[in-house]
Amino acid sequence: MDEVCEGLGTPVEATVRLDTSPELDAFRARVRAFISDHAPGIKTHTGVRAPEPELVPAIRAWTAQLYAEGFLGIGWPEQYGGRPDAHPLEAFIVAEELTRARTWEPIGAASLAAAAVIEYGTEEQKDHFLPRIRGAADIWCQLFSEPGAGSDLAALSTRARREGDEFVVDGQKVWTTNGQHADVGYLLARTDPEAPRHKGITAFALDMRAPGVDIRPLREITGTTDFNEVFLDGVRIPADRVIGEVDDGWRVAMSSLAHERTGVAGHAAELFLYLDDVLGVAANATVAGRPALDDASVRRDIGRLATRVHVNNLMNKLQQSQMLAGREDPAAAPLGKIFFGETNLALAEFGMALQGTDALLTEGDSGSVADGWWQDAFLYARAYTIAGGANEVLRTVVAERALGLPREPR
């Protein structure tokens, strides 16, 4: 174990690679060079964060460049800019390289909405929305979660009632990332309150500037406002903005979520970056008056964290290979999310512990490590164990859907 630090090499380059062909290596090199030449700077905070308003125009332009270069929307139909001859791993490579560069990915839920529009939208919806997504004219947000329907999305209570050629929507959504920047919302609302929980839900494309839409930023423990609550009071949506069939929104939403696969690649690269960061803190820290890396317990803890980062990467690569083979395991995504969230939290906690009393210093404080980056990462890390399905709920999903265990009697 004492050799662990020397044996790690450069962690961010240590990822297990599925893409080993010369063609994919050349594609990765082209993506990396393009990001180096054109990216709109480095993100100053970890996690899925909303940019300051003044950064949004640059991120829109950057998003349009990525689409124009063929690095996003790779799997779309050819008539809308997709590349049918593309290797299925290319999208994962792009996600890894964007994360590796610590730069901005496209903000919002446009890729999620695009999957719904491509599979279930009308030709008019495809002709309208898909070019606007590629050109970054529209930033989308996801209007799924509610105060009483987070991990249990089927419990949503926002209502949409039909009035002629429109639907009138009343309700509340919450945890809407980038809602303050969004032009369009991918909305789920209940259209048949008498139907079973997973029925009677409809998917809509909502104009976020429509009368009755009230967006209220939520200030979090980090001090930033990445999330919002959205109140919908008599909001009118034209019937031609229904995505798919009325009352069939659950199927639309689940299908589009299943297409959101590239995040696993980004998560693997993200943890290798944070492992690099931990080693940097350890190299400059002291324990009991001597260099931290001379302490066997510190080296042992780093070794354990490094092992978890590598296991996370292997889990992600297994999930990618299962996706490509068309034999996805119902346990893979929830287990991957759980393991990533808990490993990310452990890295942040260890990075803070290495700083001793300096961990109390935050951004702007003299002597703070990395200008308070670790403090923000520590506060945000807990969100990864809750967002996208709380880890406790996901363990139940694995037990019931993957292992076939009986529900606990009530």
Residues noted as catalytic: 260
Residue 126 CA to residue 76 CA, distance in Å, equals 11
143-to-195, 208, 291, 304 alpha-carbon distances in Å: 21, 10, 49, 39
Residues in the chain, total: 410
Residue 21 CA to residue 24 CA, distance in Å, equals 5
Residue 122 CA to residue 15 CA, distance in Å, equals 41
98-to-74, 89, 92, 113, 196 alpha-carbon distances in Å: 15, 15, 10, 21, 41
392 neighbors 152 (Cβ within 8 angstroms): no
At 122, is the secondary structure helix, strand, or coil? coil
Which ranges of 197-295 does DSSP label H, i.e. alpha helix?
A: 249-258, 263-284
389 neighbors 352 (Cβ within 8 angstroms): no
Residue 228 CA to residue 173 CA, distance in Å, equals 8
Phi/psi for 198 (5° steps) reads -90, 5
Give residue 332's identity as a one-letter amino acid code.
A
Residue 41 CA to residue 48 CA, distance in Å, equals 16
At 376, is the secondary structure helix, strand, or coil? helix
* Cα dihedral sign, 68-143-267-380: positive
Cα dihedral 24→28→29→30 (10° resolution): 100
- Using alpha carbons, select from 283, 343, 280, 316 the residue that is nearest to residue 16: 316
Residue with tokens 């939290």: 345
